[in-house]
Structure 1
């Protein structure tokens, strides 16, 4: 596509839109992509837009009043949670009948590729072809090519980058969740026409006020004080959340103008210094690409190096790597200090787990944003992570967390050293907790989702002007330049044939 000026701040007409969304993943699967998609669909309904969703079979007919049309897929051998989904004729008929203003392809890889090539072939009508075709936008969520190296197929990574670059060039623009991801795509992989589609956090749910003595007792951590003294004459409730008093009083002092009961009301707290056990928390999928073995090995080093404060490790989530991690924890002799809490779907319960911890550990380097990092910050947790895409957009080293540089020093000992800084220095941990809450302010879901709607409107405006034909490699050029893609496609189609034959 021709270069598009970054004019997302322009005031577009507030016309209600008809949007078709094509996605590789869909609820009830829980991950960053599906959670963001659920938020987007909620926002589109609230704003009065019309939408239809085409994706994998979900067992649901509708979501937020919008129809969901599913298709069959085959599970990936190396990652059963993901499927290779196949284009079905009903998808193409739906596009013709629904007649959308714009098509949004979410993380196009396999199903998205089939759909884009079907549009290019004219199977959805001539209005989706040629210089004045209707707009298609993409959103980038997952650094999928890096997974190939994690699974021992490094030869596949450059092929996948070529495929993704080809697919995204066929779209008017690509929305990315963070500035660091957009920069990496632009400079490292020559993606074009990138826009930022940020994420939000619900501050009414994720807050330090959800700290729970029951959860800490379950983890073997002692919570001495859930309601520290607050000078209500000088500080509002918001002040109590955002910063500590400059000189905390020794006892509760009420103002004559405020009618409080004799016992002060519970106040939001940030990890009291009096806790004699420090809880390190991870939340997210327990899968290979999250680099959780680094966390387990670092925790083992941490336990050996701390004769004083006690520590506990809690992992909230589930996934294909859980069994291997549990075995690793047992091999290190850390089972009595480690809790695998499993998947927690209730937002309020999840918020209580965040608020009941003291430090958030996030060793992943394959993120494009890191939604759980944002939720941890809102809950008052300083973050110990890697200086990688997504995480560095949210964590400022030394202010609301610590970041381990990628490279030579990246190992269990170095990561354990950062965790030890947080565990040993309670005062610094608390100060970073205050800064963490402040850094999460202003990240609303409504504002974030409206940015995607702005991308739709910009794409529609651009499509009204003449543009050259879709750029990028054709299918035949892509296959000839990377013969191994042929082997990959043949293997996938063979698996699909065997799967469908088994279903008959």
Structure 2
């Protein structure tokens, strides 16, 4: 398998190349519930032609959107193995954004897609268990996509007094809690209101924006925190985001629906202690044997348990620094290069093996019939 990569994206007007990968933009439309998330089927003749000319060894569909259907269609059309990564737990989100009766149909769609795939990659053991319990696909075709983080972009060296002034609203000496991520109802951010009610001296900064027509969007959250020492920066990127992570004291993650929790990885890589809900993929990042060493977990929705983990960190600078340093050292073992190497050398090879096996099983009866209808003549070696 070669090292050339083609990326088909929902964003139009993209450059032809990005870090050596060929980019192909597809026409898209906004998601009804997330206006800033573009959706595309990516099945235009132009895209099919470009993928065909590229002659891929394998197709990787990494999207919770409808493009996964297009990727599957192209894979079957070109007779190429396909890997799907499941990194957004859509059935959990549906009741919070739409109608509960849509959950069962969504599981049927997920089963259709992942049974058609040659391999499914998941970001955590918890999600793997959920898919196995729902019998989405055979257990041996569900593999863990090892966690990875850009440990150079998210680093303690980005700690900035100016950014801390901004996030604390001009009170950098006060304890500063930060949260980075989408401002959506599934993130349980209203839980942080009950936390801040008990921490009059602390400050909190929310970095990120919310989806369109969300029950708890950024505006609603701002109203909830009216009169409280909270700062809402909106979405930050690049060095500003790196500075925001590194300039806080503690990162709190109350969400119970994280499939992986990339922001938790980024916070730990930035040398910031994490206090996260014991749910979804977060216990994979802070396993039981590392609790109290590289971070802390609390019972989801339990304010008292959260406070027991959070208050000592806010009050004890030495403890914060010890946990933050241990978290940073742990994340140095999980850079993207190692994670990508494993996908390329192990997971993709497994998908190709499953694809070849499936193909051989499908062609077996035809081969048997051909041999009997058109037997090969016996060869006499005398």
Q: TM-score when scaled to structure 2?
A: 0.82
Provide closer, same or farther for how the CA distance between residues 429 and 376 of structure 1 changes in structure 2, counting only shifts above 3 A.
same
Q: 1:419 — aligned with what? A: 310
SS of 1:313's partner is strand
Counterpart mapping for 1:81-100 below 5 A: 81-86=36-41, 87-100=43-56
Partner Cα separation in structure 2 for residue 364 and residue 104 of structure 1? 28
State the Cα distance separating 1:119 from its structure 2 match.
5.0
Whether the 8 Å contact between 2:125 and 2:144 is mirrored in structure 1 is yes
User: 1:374 Cα deviation (Å)?
Assistant: 1.0
Mark the CA change 1:117 to 1:382 in structure 2 (over 3 Å): closer, same or farther: same
1:428 aligned to which of 311, 319, 338: 319
Who is 1:367 aligned against? 258
Question: Given the alignment, which residue of 189, 198, 210 partners 1:292?
Answer: 189
Q: What secondary structure does 1:138 align onto?
A: strand
Deviations 1:405-439 (A, max 9, x none): 24xxx255554454334323444333322322232
Conserved in 1, the CA contact under 8 Å of 2:253 and 2:276? Answer: yes
Deviations 1:364-422 (A, max 9, x none): 2222211111111122211111111221111243222222224xxx2555544543343
Name the SS of the counterpart of 2:126 in structure 1. helix
* Aligned-pair CA distance for 1:459: 2.2
Question: Aligned partners of 1:424, 1:440: CA distance in 2, in Å?
Answer: 25
Query: Equivalent residues in 2 for 1:91-490 (5 A)?
Result: 91-107=47-63, 109-117=65-73, 120=76, 124-125=77-78, 128=79, 134-192=80-138, 193-218=141-166, 219-220=168-169, 276-303=173-200, 310-320=201-211, 321-330=217-226, 333-334=227-228, 337-346=229-238, 348-395=239-286, 396-406=290-300, 410-412=301-303, 414-454=305-345, 455-465=347-357, 466-468=359-361
Query: Relative CO higher for 1 or 2, CA cutoff 8 Å, sep ≥ 6?
Result: 1
Q: Secondary structure at the match of 1:459?
A: helix
Is the 1:363–1:385 contact (alpha carbons within 8 Å) kept by the matching residues of 2?
A: yes
Structure 1 alignment gaps of length 5 or more: 1-14, 17-48, 129-133, 224-275, 304-309, 471-504
Q: Write out per-residue CA displacement over residues 281-319 of structure 1, whole angstroms, 9 at most, x where no aligned residue.
A: 11122233222222233222332xxxxxx2110112223
Separation in 2, partners of 1:439, 1:299: 29
- Normalising by structure 1, we get a TM-score of 0.63
CA contact (8 A) 2:119 2:351 kept: yes
1:462 deviates by 3.8
Map 1:7-26; keep pairs closer than 5 Å.
Answer: 15-16=1-2
Corresponding residue for 1:239? none
- Counterpart CA distance in 2 for 1:296 and 1:278 is 16
Distance in structure 1 (CA, Å) of the matches to 2:191 and 2:135? 28
**Residue 29 (structure 2) aligns with:** 74
Determine helix, strand or coil for the equivalent of 1:422.
Answer: helix
| SS at 1:341 equivalent | strand
SS in 1 for 2:202: strand
Which secondary structure state, in structure 1, belongs to the residue aligned with residue 225 of structure 2? Answer: helix
